[in-house]
Structure 1
């Protein structure tokens, strides 16, 4: 584990989270009026969660956590960013949707929750999460340890194959990279995606955001992810790939093909831009 890089990422996310939420308008009103930030893919993965204990890892500012809680789940959200957890806690109170949020490095949370004897029916994470993990084996082991017998792990993220491209669809990054990738900092991908990642009333908010804190990402291929989960004792039940990215427009010429599903330009062959999986603890 590279805890010093995690700390750099915490600072970078603290700065970026302020910019991201500046574009999202009155989110408490959105939730009070019955809004949800879940896309059909993750809603389908989760299924009926009423009465279930759900752990949402790397929950960011809590919007998806509260969307799951609204479905009747007992939700615990965990994120490394102080700013994100503070926002999530406030949003829960203002929207009258109960959920518990804890600021922690995910690896520290695994250790502490294990010591407290916490167990969950579902562990869930989504969209831009694995690239912040420096130790995939320890992560998969932590997920497995916190699941009840018969519990499920559900995951959806942007496809690592898509991450080999730069913004102009040119090959740039190595798929089989085992070293941290230094970046200028977490960017304002919400502004970059326009209304793709904002469900109601996109606002200009912070403009020309430049993150003062560098960040470090990690590349994990699909084979590495599925192997780590299997080696941690989970049984893979489903693996799906999608030729679009929900809400996110990281590349030039991406177009909305309906439901805020962003696809490459029409003249490009279809490639996997997202994948999801479901696994169960025996």
Structure 2
């Protein structure tokens, strides 16, 4: 069931967090103009060649990855629920000189309207902490299938549900899947600051004042079987699936081993666990 009440609370929390996150990232427009990209090899590898293709980036946040895809030659539309994120993304597009279209909306009414209007794309993309904000995964993926061209692909790189079992100290605390959303009274936090440069490829800046989000947020925890099952039930054919024992950018636990390329993995002496997954699914 779609829960617009939770989505609205999350919109407010993201509006506040987006401002905090972007204050850590210096001269993003200059970074992009100079050929910089926030995309990791996992995304570009799964996306494949996008030159001349139409790409829909759902839950695009502030548009950095959207513009990275556009710089590869795609015609890209980014959609996000946050007013602050879309406003920032639009400015970043103008200031970087990389063309993309950004539209502010909750993803559910956006997809419904797009399907009804006959809008179609070669690729639909989402990544990194996107699926946890969706109250109804089945409806979302049916909407994704509805806006794909025949032969079009849904590409997703996401944090692994197994990693979400643990708290910040790496101790098991949460159920693998939850019937009700997980409520965070302190809202979306400044995880950019906590990731020790992993999420600031344009260069680190001095830490800003501590951030306290006044708006709570709600996340939806699902198992990997729930996610893959919803992909299949939406009528999409799974073409690729990968699990990764590292994270890109985000540092999920206090004790992590740093890897080259702004990656984090389990520290020496501790078992490795899957921390991300990537998938490609195709519409017939």
Aligned residues: 282
| Equivalence map 1:94-173=2 (5 Å) | 94-173=95-174
TM-score by length of 1: 0.99
SS at match of 1:280: strand
Structure 2 partner of 1:46? 47
Instruction: Name the residue aligned to 2:214.
Output: 212
3-state DSSP class of the match of 1:131?
A: helix
State the distance in 2 between where 1:18 and 1:41 align.
Answer: 27
Deviation, structure 1 residue 205: 5.0
Please show how residues 61-76 of structure 1 align to structure 2 within 5 Å: 61-76=62-77
Q: Which position in structure 1 is the counterpart of 2:94?
A: 93
Corresponding residue number in structure 2 for 1:8: 9
| Residue of structure 1 equivalent to 2:245 | 243
* C-alpha contact 1:79 1:106 (8 A) present in aligned 2: yes
Equivalent position SS for 2:76:
strand
Q: Secondary structure of 2:241's partner?
A: strand
CA-atom RMSD, angstroms?
A: 0.8
Matched residues in 2 for 1:174 and 1:213: separation? 24
Contact 1:13–1:186 (CA under 8 A) maintained in structure 2: yes
CA–CA distance in structure 2, aligned partners of residues 13 and 119 of structure 1? 28
SS in 1 for 2:43: helix
Structure 1 distance, partners of 2:234, 2:41, is 28
SS of the counterpart of 2:21? helix
User: Partner of 1:209: helix, strand, or coil?
Assistant: coil
Q: Which has the larger displacement, 107-116 or 76-85? A: 107-116
- Matched position secondary structure for 2:197: helix
User: CA–CA distance in 1 between the matches of 2:96 and 2:109?
Assistant: 29
Structure 2 portions without partners, runs of 5+: none
Deviation of residue 206 (structure 1)?
3.0
Q: Is the 8 A contact 1:19 1:205 kept in 2?
A: no
Calculate the TM-score normalised by the size of structure 2. 0.98
Q: How far apart, in 2, do the equivalents of 1:123 and 1:155 lie?
A: 8
Q: 1:60 deviation in Å?
A: 0.3
**Counterpart of 1:82?**
83
1:265 maps to which residue? 267
Contact 1:107/1:139 (8 A) holds in 2: yes
Q: C-alpha separation between the residues in 2 aligned to 1:206 and 1:14?
A: 17
